[in-house]
Every structure is written in C-alpha cells, then in structure tokens.
Amino acid sequence: PLVSMKEMLEEAKAGGYAVGQFNLNNLEFTQAILQAAEEEQSPVILGVSEGAARYMGGFYTVVNIVEALMADYGVTVPVAIHLDHGSSFEKCVEAMYAGFTSVMIDGSHYPLEENIALTKKVVDVAHTLGVSVEAELGRIGGQEDDLVVEEADAMYAIPAECDQLVRETGVDCFAPALGSVHGPYKGEPNLGFDRMEEIGRTTGVPLVLHGGTGIPTHDIQKAISLGTAKINVNTENQIASAKAVREVLAEKPDMYDPRKYLGPARDAIKETVIGKMREFGSSNKA
Ligand code: G3H
Ligand code: ZN
C-alpha cells in the first residue's frame, strides 16, 4: 500500500536497518524499483525530484504511474512517494495535492530561522494530511538535477542547530549534511560520524543520508548504527542503467526497439536496488 515514511522509518530505526530511497527517472526505473521491493519484501521510498517529475509529465503522472504499477504488479509492501529536495512551500503542497505521501522541504540554503519557519509551514499542512516531512540543514555537495552545490559551499550541519530545527518544526525525519555528496565521490567520502551520533541522539528522529552512491559498506553500517534510517540512492542506478544500454547497443548497432535496450536497463536497475536493500538490511522487513 501507499503510505507515508513515518512508520517505516521508525520501525527501521528501532530495528537497526535503513529503508532505501531510490529516485525515479522514468517508467523503467519505477518498474524496476517496485519489482525489487516486492521481490525482496522490503519497504521502499520512491524519491521524485522536481526535475524528474517534470521529465515524467508532472506530479499527477508520477502518482498515477506508481499506483497503476502497484495494482498491476500486486505490490503488497509499504511504498512511499516522496518529493526529493522540495524547493518551496508551493511545490510541496502541489505534490501533496497530487497524492505524494511524503515531502522533503529543502531550506538548507536559507539562514536557520528562515529554514525553520519554512519547514514548519510545510509540516503544518503535511501533518493535517498524514503526509511525512523531511528537512535538511548544512549543505550537501555535488549536483542533483536543478540543485548544484560547489565543493567550497558544502557545509557540515551544526548539532545545536539541528536540535533546534527538529524541536521547533516537528519533522518526521531529518537530513544533516555531514560530508556526503550527490553524484560520484572524488576519493573516499569523509562522513562526520561524531556529529551524526550527537544529532541522532539529541534530535531523536530517524536520520537521512543523502548521496548514497559510492559510500562503502562499513560507512553505511556505521551510519545505520548511529540512527540513520533512510539512505538515498540515485546515481548508482543511473550508472547501471546507462551501462546496460551502452553494452546492448554496442553489441547490436542495428537495434532500434526500445524494449530491447530499456528492458536490460530495467533489469540492471532492479539488480542494483536489490543489492542496496540487502546492504541496508531492509529485505524481508515489509
Ligand atoms: O536525494 C537524492 C540522493 O541524495 C541521491 O544521491 O545520486 O549520489 O546517489 P546520489
Ligand atoms: Zn539528496
């Protein structure tokens, strides 16, 4: 069923595992992620950036595709449709109105008080509708669609500010920027685990780790042990999908039926997602 993230993340935190947020890019991504979740009997969060929603048609299109696939596939595991890095109050409301069960309001580029005021405004509407809310503090480096943060502007979240934001807004989960990056890493990631421990302990809410592509397993496990209950992955699925298409088309340059190269891409995404679900510990937790 379609649900908010609230319960699945609280259960994950209590159970010592994390639920993956896998971003949608097109129909094949949506199919692959839902198939993986059902096969693994894992709860799942479908992340939708504003750019991806625009590409697919709009918020309604996304919700309708997800609902139709869930019915056709007979999906029984909990699924959340989540607006990723929502840029404004208006966009969050639009997504909720279209049927999203969860939203992120990303006010991380605003001064603290403004971020809190904006986040609180979204929470007030969302909670009236049973929709869950994620907020962010600090700045996650790298690029995801419209969101570009230069290396020099990436910032680690400050624990006291995180505590204040969570307390004053009532968000359901929280993403402190602690050195993770959108897109591939240059070298090994350097995650701020001391701050993660403190933020997890003082805020008490499930933490979210963005930029899940390229984080080594021991860091994933450490993050989970410190209260991380949601891990976002997009680039790794995009790389797997592009690789599959390249391979098929290189081998058969005369191929033109999209099903014959997008089908293998879909299989590659599904395999990648299944691997992540096992790594995060969410398999058989539905
Ligand atoms: O919000 C989405 C994620 O943080 C994706 O990060 O593309 O580096 O896996 P990634
Ligand atoms: Zn992100």
Ligand 1 atom index nearest CA of 183: 8
pLDDT-derived band at 102 (thresholds 50, 70, 90) equals very high
Flag whether pLDDT at 89 surpasses 80: yes
CA distances from 86 to 105, 158, 202, 262, 283 (A): 5, 22, 25, 29, 28
C-beta separation of 178 from 138 below 8 A: yes
Q: How many domains does the chain have?
A: 1
Residues having CB within 6 Å of any atom of ligand 1: 23, 47, 84-85, 144, 182-183, 210-213, 232-236
Model confidence at 76, pLDDT cuts 50, 70, 90, reads very high
Mutation pick for ligand 1 pocket among 233, 236, 269, 272 (CB with most ligand atoms within 8 Å): 233
Whether the Cβ atoms of residue 33 and residue 44 lie closer than 8 Å to each other: yes
Residue 165 scores a pLDDT above 80: yes
Q: Which of 25-34, 46-55, 150-159, 167-176 has the lowest mean pLDDT?
A: 150-159
List the domain range (segments joined by +) for residue 210: 6-280
Residue 151 predicted with pLDDT over 90 = no
* Residue 250, in any domain of the structure: yes
Q: Domain for residue 285, yes or no? A: no
Distance (Å, rounded) from C-alpha 190 to C-alpha 224?
Answer: 16
The answer, yes or no, to whether residue 152 has pLDDT greater than 80, is no
> What number is the ipTM of this complex?
0.98
User: In this structure, is residue 15 part of a structural domain?
Assistant: yes
CATH of the domain at 254: 3.20.20.70
Domain assignment present for residue 286? The answer is no
